[in-house]
Structure 1
Amino acid sequence: MVPETFKSTQPFDAFLVLDVEATCQQGSSFDYPNEIIELPVTLVRWTDKIDGKASQLEVVDEFHSFVKPTWRPNLSEFCTQLTGITQDIVDAAPDFPVALASLRQFLVKHELIDSETEEPLTRFCWCTDGPHDIRDFFLKQCFISKVEMPQWIKTDVMDVRSTVVHWLASQAGKKPITPATKKLQAHFGVKRPLNITLQLEALGLPPFEGRQHCGMHDARNVARIVTELARKGIRLQPNTPVHPHRRWVWMGHSGQILDLYR
């Protein structure tokens, strides 16, 4: 049992860990018109919240859907090798508006949003590895699919990677909890991406479980990281703004994609 001293005031009651996979070309940057091809969510809630304080999270349920791309329906060989998602999988999958509606129903089922107004029924926060999943990929996909970005996904977002980096910084000068933490502290400030595997190491958790760049497996492992951050008494809160009116150079009028990537 975690000591009481590890508990901290936690403003949110539920966390939705999201890690999408998207179409890509080898060498393409984050400016590319990526289309979401896997949409997984792991829902975690507190088991010990009393008077606003908590430290124990557990997985309640999972949502998962593959998604059919429409702008560039054929996956690149690079994309399949990276994600493990094959052409036959996306060909049989629903398109994004249908997958989005299913995700909405998942939120309704767990009483996170009202079924009619979509107003929040409890305080929940999205959790992603890095800022890109909602801020970039979700926004791009809504534009490509010509659907409005739902209010329930453009509100509170926590970049878990950033939270881990700040925790590592706070440990400077303290006795490292694990050899991995000591190693990462030595590299802190150096140009080194803190991927999911390194975050698990830094927190003293067992290695990555599953296949990396499988969206569902990534989401489950990020949920493990979020759970451990909570156990360490770290306040889980939003740290990533979403700008729903952001535009990229390939965005034309009325959902048109300017073909700059032949």
Structure 2
Amino acid sequence: MTLETQQSLPSGPSRPSRPSWSLTSKAPAIGTRDLIIPTEIIEFPVCLMRWKDKGEDGLASELEVVDEFRTFVRPTWRPTLSEFCTELTGITQVCLKWIQAPLFPEMLAQLHQFLMKNELLDEHGQSLATVPFDVRDFVVKQCFISKVRVPSWLQGDILDVRTLVLKHLTLLHPPDKSKTKKQNSKRVGVFSAATVLRTFVVLMGLVTQPWASATRRTMNIAAQLKALDLSEFAGREHSGIDDARNITRVLAALARKGTPLQPNTPIQPLRRWPWMGPRRGEILEENLII
């Protein structure tokens, strides 16, 4: 997931110069439209971005990466990684054991220290940032599995980068009302099948343990880069940290184009799925849809 912090931003090319953090997390898609299952986070990367061209008026339009946080996370519900997960992400069981990856609650403590070090939490512990779209579901699920509350600094509204890119493209290429949705899709090349990730849902940074394949169509990071006329994806696709770094490129490009980087999706920390029992950490196996 890509997470960026900033003040409420006005439209136009200039923005208040405040620290911004880009946290990216990636996960394979978990299933079809109706598939609802537990998902465990196994990688949690963050890229911190700041506005670098602050003027006398306190406004800026150039974002740059100034710090990173990255750790693998040991799963507990299904501690053994699937072969599919390893092939997709490059993360192996030996890797998790050898580096003594922290459990999710321990990772939250480390992330909190990182945010404090970079002055990204206010005196009430609230994050000054927006967070990636995928935090909406996967962090909420993981907190339930790990028997912890969703931290206050991971609540609130978040920035779904894919939606932001699609909105930007729509403004550049408004749909022709005389044509069908499919015809308009072909006219704007980035929406075509060649550049859409069909098999997996890229969750922009957080790597989670996959338990099923998916068919949901969404624009992946490589397609976002292409849509913004940026160079190809750098690194390994589906690696959380590489996804995060590439999403920062997308955010920086949108900022240069004057796109307001504002939250567009809410997190629902109290959301519940059918497999969740009455107590935190209780998974109702009979309610799993796999």
Normalising by the residue count of structure 2, what TM-score does the alignment of the two structures yield? Answer: 0.75
Give me the whole-angstrom Cα distance separating, in 2, the residues matched to 1:88 and 1:29. 33
Match of 2:256 in 1: 231
Give me the whole-angstrom Cα distance separating, in 1, the residues matched to 2:46 and 2:120. 14
Q: Identify the match of residue 125 of structure 2 among 118, 124, 132.
A: 118
**Deviation of residue 184 (structure 1)?**
2.2
SS at match of 2:274: coil
**Deviation of residue 104 (structure 1)?**
0.3
CA deviation vs aligned residue, 1:165-220 (integer Å, no higher than 9, x gap): 0000001169xxxxxx9522678xx9952110010001000000000110000000
Q: 1:23 to 1:172 in 2, by over 3 A?
A: closer
The answer to whether 1:202 aligns with 2:236 is no
CA deviation vs aligned residue, 1:14-65 (integer Å, no higher than 9, x gap): 3322232458878897622010000000010101234353210000100001
The answer to whether 1:162 aligns with 2:163 is yes
SS at match of 1:8: coil
Give me the whole-angstrom Cα distance separating, in 2, the residues matched to 1:23 and 1:42. 20
Normalising by the residue count of structure 1, what TM-score does the alignment of the two structures yield? Answer: 0.83
Unaligned runs of 5+ in 1: 1-5, 175-180
Root mean square deviation of aligned Cα:
2.9
The answer to whether 1:259 aligns with 2:285 is yes
The answer to whether 1:39 aligns with 2:44 is yes
Give me the whole-angstrom Cα distance separating, in 1, the residues matched to 2:34 and 2:163. 20
Matched AA of 1:36: I
Aligned length: 243
Matched AA of 2:156: T
Give me the whole-angstrom Cα distance separating, in 1, the residues matched to 2:18 and 2:147. 32
Unaligned runs of 5+ in 2: 1-10, 176-186, 197-215
Q: Does the Cα contact within 8 Å between 1:155 and 1:242 map onto a contact in 2?
A: yes
Pairing 1:73-112 to 2, within 5 Å after superposition? 73-91=79-97, 92-112=100-120
SS at match of 2:266: coil
Matched AA of 1:118: G
Q: Using CA pairs under 8 Å that are at least 6 residues apart, name the structure with larger relative contact order, 1 or 2.
A: 2
Match of 2:180 in 1: none
Q: Identify the match of residue 13 of structure 1 among 13, 18, 38.
A: 18
Give me the whole-angstrom Cα distance separating, in 1, the residues matched to 2:29 and 2:83. 9
